[in-house]
Amino acid sequence: MTPIMDESYAAVDLGSNSFHMIVANLVDGRLQIIDRMKEMVRLASGLNDKHELSKESMQQALECLQRFGQRIREIPHLNVRAVGTNTLRQARNGEDFLARAHLALGHPIEIIAGREEARLIYSGVAHSLYDEASKRLVIDIGGGSTELIIGCGFNTYYTESLYMGCVNMGQRFFDDGKIKAKKMRKAILFAMQELESLETAYKKMGWDQALGSSGTILSIRDVVQAQGWCDAGITASALNRLIETLIAIGDTESINLVGLSERRKPVFASGVAILSGVFEALSLDRINISEGALREGLLYDLIGRVHDEDIRDKTILDVSQRYSVDIEQANKVRQTAELFFHQVKADWALDKKADLKLLQWGALIHEIGLSIAHNQYHRHGAYLMANSDLAGFSQQEQIKLAMLVRSHRRKFPLEEFETITQSRRISIIRLCVLLRLAVVLHRSRSNNSLPEVQLSVNKNRINLKFPSGWMDQHPLTLVDLSIEQSFLEIADIKLNFD
């Protein structure tokens, strides 16, 4: 790892209930939190039955992001990462919101899958309460989803994300604000039903201690301890007393418990029901509390990326091994693609870090579809990339990677690039071209090294120059390049070679 200089970082978590931002300085290799910001935006409540965000909820979210953006304006762009979770995973008009959110915050927002959210939550907990010996169950109840993770040290064994959070559960069971015994029991049983598919596997794996994180569980902890029902963490008996108290109160607006904020009240009963369901399903007697959560996990993940300890590199290696990729061939393609990248990065305005990384990963896994079938293997590989749980990758990154795999051979699928935002579309198409050329030149899978090939570009015009006489000695490559010429014409790209 390269020496770490003192610098600032920021992580932004666009949760379904609250937006969080954490700002930290990395000093002598140690993270020092210097600022935290939190606003209860309750984005999930703005999602209608057509899974579209309302104009009002989007506006409130954008105003929050503008305030966050002002705070982190001076932090280097590469040192900021923002992610969206369950609500933005569902929103059909999410792309419109993300474009506006980018402008408001000053940074792009990545959408992460549920299991990636769970991995990052565990990382935040593990860095906050490190314990290399104990196996731990981590529970995180958000506005739109609940994550349950078993891990030890910094490694995870199980990561699950369930579609139940304090906002959507509140809308389902406590929409009128009334807290009745039957409603509470139905909500708890629903939570237990959601947990049913993983209950046996989690109990079989086991854990030495259970930990809760994030706002819902922290609020429950504050309330039960303020009432004197337990001294540390949250116990099953304290949780049962809290449920009895809420039923006795009978209405969310009438809740007046020490430790509970006004803005938390509308979703408090549903959060309690979810946690009670987790306690019952997993036979818990007590959980302790972690102050670390998703945003802390984001920070440590971001620092790893900046300082060349990127979990995404390990993920790509694991994927290539899982699908028995021909590593020797993949590395040949990668090396040639890298060579081409460095020759054209200035003329094509490619990012020397992010774009190069994407091209390298695409080269290493471009043949994974062969593990399914040779026919249309580029399509099979693209499906695997787009739909697998890939640690460290956002959904947008997986789509880009899938497009590289999909487009590395045969007809150039220009129409499919519509799934990528317009601001990134040109650069992804250009990366696809570089990968395609590298694949063509290594199609023979020969052990002989390629000659020195010069690649130059002028907008959509590409010229490949080979040593004198080399093409005459390699007629198959000449044919392959001629076919590639016609494929690229579909994308309005002119390929010349001599």
pLDDT at 77: 92
Q: Which of 157, 31, 222 lies closest to 148 in space, CA to CA?
A: 157
pLDDT at 4: 44
Quote the pTM value. 0.91
State the distance between the two ends of the chain, measured CA to CA, in whole angstroms: 43
Which amino acid, one-letter code, is at 291? E
Helix (H) or strand (E) holding 218: helix 215-226
Q: How far is CA 251 from CA 142, 177, 254, 256, 363, in A?
A: 22, 6, 5, 10, 58
Helix (H) or strand (E) holding 435: helix 422-441
Domain range list for the chain: 7-113+296-302, 130-289, 328-497
Q: Burial, 99: exposed, middle or buried (Cβ in 10 Å; 0-12, 13-18, 19+)?
A: middle
Are 427 and 349 in contact, with CB atoms under 8 Å apart?
yes
Residue 114 CA to residue 89 CA, distance in Å, equals 9
> 495: which strand partners?
462
Q: Which of 88, 271, 242, 87 lies closest to 165 in space, CA to CA?
A: 271
Are 462 and 494 in contact, with CB atoms under 8 Å apart?
yes
Residue 205 CA to residue 200 CA, distance in Å, equals 9
Kindly give, in sequence order, each residue whose CB lies less than 8 Å from that of residue 208, ignoring residues fewer than 6 positions away.
134, 135, 136
Q: Looking at domain 130-289, which CATH architecture does it have?
A: 2-Layer Sandwich (3.30)
Count Cβ atoms below 10 Å from residue 153 Cβ, excluding itself: 13
Residue 315 CA to residue 345 CA, distance in Å, equals 26
DSSP 8-state secondary structure symbol assigned to residue 231: S
Name the CATH topology of 7-113+296-302. Nucleotidyltransferase; domain 5 (3.30.420)
pLDDT at 24: 94
Residue 131 CA to residue 302 CA, distance in Å, equals 22
Are 184 and 243 in contact, with CB atoms under 8 Å apart?
yes
pLDDT at 424: 85
| Tokens 């963490």 sit on residue | 233
Are 233 and 289 in contact, with CB atoms under 8 Å apart?
yes
Q: How far is CA 179 from CA 29, 90, 245, in A?
A: 49, 28, 10
Pairing mode, if any, of strands 80-84 and 7-14?
parallel
The rounded radius of gyration (Å) of the Cα atoms in the chain is 26
| Tokens 């981590």 sit on residue | 138
| Cα-based angle 453, 454, 458 (whole degrees, multiple of 5) | 145
Helix (H) or strand (E) holding 406: helix 395-406
Q: How far is CA 90 from CA 42, 409, 413, in A?
A: 15, 32, 26
Count Cβ atoms below 10 Å from residue 328 Cβ, excluding itself: 9
Helix (H) or strand (E) holding 355: helix 354-365
Name the CATH topology of 328-497. Hypothetical protein af1432 (1.10.3210)
| Tokens 């040639």 sit on residue | 336
Q: Which of 38, 13, 9 lies closest to 24 in space, CA to CA?
A: 9
pLDDT at 498: 87
**Strand spans (E) along 85-152:** 109-111, 135-141, 146-152
Are 109 and 298 in contact, with CB atoms under 8 Å apart?
no
Residue 467 CA to residue 13 CA, distance in Å, equals 53
pLDDT along the chain (498 residues), means of 10: 65 95 86 92 90 94 97 94 95 92 96 96 93 93 96 96 95 95 98 97 97 95 96 96 97 94 93 98 97 93 88 95 96 97 96 95 97 96 96 94 96 86 88 97 91 94 94 92 93 92
CA 133 to chain centre: 27
Judge whether 7-113+296-302 and 328-497 match in fold.
Answer: no
376-384: long-range contacts, CB 8 A cutoff, minimum separation 24? 378/405, 378/406, 378/407, 378/408, 378/409, 378/410, 379/406, 381/405, 381/406, 382/406, 384/323
Strands of the sheet with 30-39, listed across from one edge: 30-39, 19-27, 7-14, 80-84, 109-111
Structure tokens at 229: 């029902």
309: left (phi over 0), alpha (psi -120 to 50) or beta: beta
Q: Which of 16, 172, 175, 11 lies closest to 94 in space, CA to CA?
A: 16
